[in-house]
Structure 1
Amino acid sequence: MSEPAKTGARTRRLRMEFALFYIVTPVLAACLLPSGGLLAGLFLFMLVGLGLLWATPGFRWRELFRGWRAIRWEAVAGLAALTFAASLAVMQVMAPQAMFSLLAHPERLLLIAVLYPLLSALPQEVVFRALYFRRYRGLVPKGPRGVVLNAALFALAHLMYWSVIVVVMTFVGGLTFAWAHSVRRSFLMAWVMHSVAGVIVFIAGLGIYFFAGNVMRPF
């Protein structure tokens, strides 16, 4: 097989892989997985993503640890303030009785603050930012269109919660995290922003919308 033919075949395989991983799998999981299996399904999805990144030609894990100097801490603070304000507004309208409910359980809040960045934000950023912009960089659009597509796929992955609130918040968050990774060239900035925003969401009480036990499919 000639080199152009090999390149074309590889591109087709990557396109199919991309569609299966980022579109087909999240939709099937949202529609078919029972609520009790959502977390296990999400964990498996993340493991597959880690495996794909590890198998990406030329990728080295140390790439993820570059970019501390590119972090704009004022942008992190701005996102924190906006997330806090938006979370309070949503909770005031949708579930005022659950606002700041975790403050009554400081041990749970501390556990979330410690574990969320490591067990949730980090693998999500690896799969949706590092993998997306590294393994599929020849397929996805460049510039703002690539950022918007990334955010849309990130929101789609949260369809399993069947909540407009979750989809909207993850899309907006995805725009920010994708910007940090692709424009600031800092995976670490995306991870820090995701971690900070996620912990604030739980502090405000919005974590109730990210709890698998509360999932109610519309069908």
Structure 2
Amino acid sequence: MSKDSTITVPPLAALRLRFEFGLFFIAAPLLIAVLFPPNWMFPALFAFTGLGIVLLHATPGFQWAELRYEWANWSFRELAVFTLVTVAFCTALIYLTRPEAAFFLLKHRPEMLVFIWIGYPLLSALPQELLFRPLFFRRYHAILPEGRKADILNAAVFSFAHLMYWSWIVALMTFVGGLLFSWAYRKRGSFFYAVLLHAIAGNIIFAVGLGVYFYSGNVQRPF
């Protein structure tokens, strides 16, 4: 996972992969964002996740045991720096954009925050990482650009998948997050580390108050 390799596929197979890639990573998020009412978004996302897991399981050469590879290839010091930087960035962002929402759950609904902290890693971070790291890089490796361009594309489609929130703040955070999670998966070769970073970032977002941008009830489409 940490090194690029050249894989040649027949033109027809490559065309099929590109079509499938476009449907899954572009058409589906676009349809969910444009056509589905906010209260339908999460059922649609769960269906989207289920399909992605089926596709990953059917990917030639993929074994679920791969997800254990290099699981410990990270350091607590690095994790501490990531956590502190994320807290500082998110705190500054909430006070600049929605100061009235700053630390709302921590102050007023701590029990809800605990519930989110327990559920988010398993119900959100883990399935998202399955789709946007192993599925993206393993199933579609043959049609991806080389090197850093693949990481940028990965971050872009990860950000686009959050179009349903119609927020430039969500788009920015998920793009930067996508770059970091892709780095953990590809350069460190650790799916576990990608999930861990994603879980920490998500839990910080909700603790700080930025979860207000990820709540479907607050979605306002620009049309």
Does TM-score exceed 0.5, indicating one fold? yes
Q: Write the deviation string for residues 137-175 of structure 1: whole angstroms up to 9, x where unpaired.
A: 111122211111100000000010000100000000000
Describe how 1:95-114 pairs up with structure 2 within 5 A: 95-103=98-106, 104-114=108-118
Counterpart of 2:148 in structure 1 is: 144
Of 165-174 and 72-81, more deviation after overlay is shown by 72-81
Q: Distance in 1 between matches of 2:57 and 2:74?
A: 25
Cα distance per residue 1:71-104 (max 9 Å; x no partner) = 2333322221222111111111211111111112
Distance 1:10 1:74 in 2: 44
In structure 2, give the amino acid aligned to 1:27: L
| Residue 115 (str. 1) matches residue 153 (str. 2) | no
Counterpart in the other structure of 1:206: 210
Q: Contact 2:152 / 2:179 at 8 angstroms: preserved in 1?
A: yes
Post-superposition offset of 1:30 = 1.0
Percent of aligned positions that are identical: 49
Matched residue, 1:12: 15
Query: Which amino acid is 1:218 matched to?
Result: P
**Paired residue secondary structure (1:37):** helix
**Cα drift, residue 16 of structure 1:** 0.4
Which residue number corresponds to residue 22 of structure 1?
A: 25
Comparing 31-40 and 124-133, the one that deviates more:
31-40
Q: Contact 1:150 / 1:175 at 8 angstroms: preserved in 2?
A: yes
Give TM-score scaled by structure 1 length.
0.94
Matches of residues 132-211 of structure 1 in structure 2 within 5 Å? 132-211=136-215
C-alpha contact 1:71 1:188 (8 A) present in aligned 2: no
Q: Which amino acid aligns with 1:30?
A: A
Do the aligned partners of 1:35 and 1:212 also contact (CA within 8 Å) in 2?
yes
1:63 lines up with 2:62 in the alignment: no
Q: Tell me by how many angstroms 1:183 deviates.
A: 1.0
Q: Secondary structure at the match of 1:68?
A: coil
Partner of 1:3: none
Q: Is the 8 A contact 2:72 2:193 kept in 1?
A: no
Matches of 1:58 and 1:20, distance apart in 2: 22
Residue 9 of structure 1 and its aligned partner are, at CA, apart by: 1.8
Which 5+ residue runs of structure 2 have no aligned equivalent?
1-8
Residues paired across the two proteins, number? 214
The residue type equivalent to 1:62 in the other structure is A
What are the ranges of 5 or more consecutive residues in structure 1 without an aligned counterpart? 1-5
The alpha carbon displacement at 1:209 in A equals 0.4
* Residue among 211, 215, 219 paired with 2:219: 215
CA distance, structure 1, for counterparts of residue 78 and residue 54 of structure 2: 31
Q: CA deviation at 1:59?
A: 1.0
**Match for residue 77 of structure 1?**
80
TM-score, normalised with respect to structure 2: 0.93
User: Partners of 1:12 and 1:24 in 2: how far apart?
Assistant: 16
Q: Is the 8 A contact 2:74 2:188 kept in 1?
A: yes
Note the aligned Cα RMSD (angstroms). 1.2
